[in-house]
């Protein structure tokens, strides 16, 4: 986990710069502070500024009365260039006005000679601690910003279907319960899982992802739960499993339906007890992990077929998030296409655009590969278009140019089945175009189509076309 390794003994040695025009004072301060820290010295403010620019210092300890540039001027210059450096000023000529000015400019402390050696040591330690706390705060803020950047706000989707998904995902994020994300391949299930993690209290913990279907069956339990040295042939060292790696964070189990039944039994027990036992060990280890699983298969059917355990299903399905296929949120296609075009195809003379014909082709296609297929199509189109300012139909993959009758891969069907399939797709694409033209107004669309309103409603439901998805267009 990030951020936990900064408190080692080596890290506690500060990098200090002592600035004084008197050699004996520089030597005394260097000896005093050098027992606990790395100390360098400078005979004047100008030399000190050059050293600060060239190297990293945590704290500067400087006399005020020096020729050419005094300590307060040095303080001001340091805070302009490297405001994170703490500055401690020392003087034999202290005045209230000078002290107030130094503190206003950002000095950490102001010591008057003579002072006790221990007093300076304590002041420097406190200055170092404040510097470290500020660094830690900046580090954590950076982690938080990175987490926010992978949250739900970064998922493109203004359709009603996606807004409903986001609302439920936010509720899931506030809970520590397990989540089951379902959806067709390419819909963005892992993106949703990462967003739930990023918006949860575990955002600063690890997000560990594994595709259960890609794990060799013989090594599934070793990968998930770890193993002891000698537990099986090839186990030459102790190894922590993915549950231990995800401690304090989230474990994403993609394609959970492919997990072998013996591993399902152990996973159910881990979810129930919050403990793992490495293969070849008897002792159990406590793990603090939130599990998010994903599947593109019907787990209820898998349970009926005896391929998935019922108790595991109910353990996972506390929060159920169903990611809609792209064909059920076609109103998001223009924004998604623009997003991918900005990522892969920024033109030399400004942002590229799709021609109306190209956008129509994108909207008419059924996208069996969902968002992943759309991303690949836009990336390919951007490459094919070269330096041209607009993406046209000719730049799109060939199957999109035949969008109304996109039957790639279905030539194994009988002629009758093929014709029925073409009719179904053409009917849906007609309904999408109709809804887009009338902004989701079913009454106006029915009048244009020459059919009854209820009949059109039935057709829309049958083809999964939601009028509400077109009202904001």
Q: What is the pLDDT of residues 140-185, one digit of tens each?
A: 555 545 544 556 777 888 888 999 999 999 999 999 999 999 999 9
Report the pLDDT averaged over residues 427-446: 85
pLDDT of the residue at 469: 74
47-60: average pLDDT? 89
From the list 342, 343, 339, the residue with the least C-alpha distance to 352 is: 342
The pLDDT, as a whole number, for residue 290 is: 95
Domain 12-144 identical in fold to domain 153-324: yes
Average pLDDT on 374-386 reads 90
What is the share, in percent, of the chain residues with pLDDT greater than 90?
38
pLDDT at residue 102 above 70?
yes
| Over residues 233-245, mean pLDDT | 80
pLDDT of residue 134: 78
CATH topology of domain 153-324: Rossmann fold (3.40.50)
Q: Give all strands (DSSP E) within 44-132, no chain letters.
A: 59-63, 86-91, 109-112
pLDDT at 428: 73
**Domain regions of the chain by residue span:** 12-144, 153-324, 327-405, 415-470
pLDDT in tens, 322-370: 999 999 888 888 889 988 888 887 655 556 788 877 888 888 888 999 9
Nearest residue to 399 (alpha-carbon basis) of 412, 390, 408: 408
Closest among 471, 181, 178 to 324, alpha carbons compared: 181
**Residue 252 reports pLDDT greater than 90:** yes
pTM, two decimal places: 0.55
The larger pLDDT score, comparing residue 61 to residue 357, is at 61
| Per-residue pLDDT tens digits for 420-435 | 556 666 777 788 888 8
Task: Please name the residues in contact with 320: beta carbons below 8 A apart, sequence gap of 6 or more.
Answer: 179, 180, 182
CA gap 367, 184 in Å, rounded: 11
C-alpha angle 58-61-65 in degrees, rounded to nearest 5: 145
Neighbour-count burial of 437, counting CB atoms closer than 10 A to its CB (0-12 exposed, 13-18 middle, 19+ buried) = middle
d(CA 312, CA 299): 10
The first and second tokens of residue 265, run together, are: 């039994």
For CA atoms 140, 141, 146, 147, the dihedral sign is positive
d(CA 123, CA 112): 13
CATH class of 327-405: mainly alpha
CB atoms within 10 A of CB 145: 9
How much of the chain exceeds pLDDT 70, in percent?
A: 84
pLDDT at 449 over 70: yes
230: region left, alpha or beta (phi > 0 left; psi from -120 to 50 alpha): left
Q: Which CATH class is domain 12-144?
A: alpha beta
Give the confidence band of 473 by pLDDT, cuts at 50, 70, 90: very low
If pLDDT is split at 50, 70 and 90, which confidence band does 320 have? very high
């Amino acid at each position: 986990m990030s951020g936990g390794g900064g408190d080692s003994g080596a890290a506690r040695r500060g990098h200090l710069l002592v600035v004084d025009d008197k050699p004996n004072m520089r030597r005394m301060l260097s000896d005093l502070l050098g027992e606990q820290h790395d100390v360098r010295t400078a005979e004047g403010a100008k030399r000190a500024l050059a050293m600060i620019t060239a190297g990293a210092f945590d704290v500067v300890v400087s006399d005020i009365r020096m020729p050419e540039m005094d300590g307060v001027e040095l303080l001001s210059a340091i805070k302009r260039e490297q405001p994170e450096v703490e500055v401690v000023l020392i003087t034999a000529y202290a005045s209230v006005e000078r002290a107030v000015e130094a503190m206003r400019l950002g000095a950490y402390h102001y010591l008057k000679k003579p002072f006790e050696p221990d007093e300076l040591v304590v002041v420097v330690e406190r200055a170092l601690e404040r510097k470290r706390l500020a660094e830690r705060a900046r580090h954590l803020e950076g982690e938080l910003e990175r987490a926010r950047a992978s949250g739900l706000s970064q998922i493109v989707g203004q359709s009603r279907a996606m807004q409903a998904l986001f609302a439920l995902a936010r509720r899931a994020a506030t809970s520590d319960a397990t989540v089951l994300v379902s959806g067709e391949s390419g819909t963005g299930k892992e993106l949703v899982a990462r967003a739930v993690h990023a918006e949860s209290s575990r955002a600063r913990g690890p997000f560990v992802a594994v595709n259960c279907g890609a794990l060799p069956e013989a090594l599934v339990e070793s990968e998930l739960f770890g193993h002891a040295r000698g537990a099986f042939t090839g186990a030459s060292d102790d190894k922590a499993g993915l549950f231990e790696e995800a401690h304090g964070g989230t474990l994403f189990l993609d394609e959970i339906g492919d997990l072998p039944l013996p591993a399902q039994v152990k996973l159910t027990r881990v979810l129930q007890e919050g403990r793992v036992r490495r293969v070849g060990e008897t002792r159990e280890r406590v793990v603090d992990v939130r599990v998010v699983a994903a599947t593109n298969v019907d787990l209820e059917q898998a349970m009926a077929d005896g391929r998935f355990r019922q108790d595991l299903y109910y353990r996972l399905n506390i929060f159920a998030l169903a990611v809609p296929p792209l064909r059920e949120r076609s109103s998001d296609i223009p924004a998604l296409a623009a997003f991918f075009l900005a990522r892969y195809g920024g033109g030399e003379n400004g942002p590229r655009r799709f021609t109306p014909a190209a956008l129509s082709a994108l909207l008419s296609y059924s996208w069996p590969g969902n968002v992943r297929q759309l991303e690949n199509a836009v990336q390919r189109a951007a490459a094919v278009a070269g330096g041209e300012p607009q993406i046209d139909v000719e730049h799109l993959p060939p199957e999109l140019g035949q969008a109304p009758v996109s039957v790639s891969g279905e030539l194994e069907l009988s002629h009758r089945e093929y014709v029925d399939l073409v009719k179904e797709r053409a009917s849906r694409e007609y309904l999408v175009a109709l809804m887009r033209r009338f902004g989701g107004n079913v009454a106006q669309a029915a009048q244009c189509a020459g059919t009854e309103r209820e009949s059109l409603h039935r057709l829309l439901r049958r083809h999964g076309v939601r009028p509400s998805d077109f009202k904001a267009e």
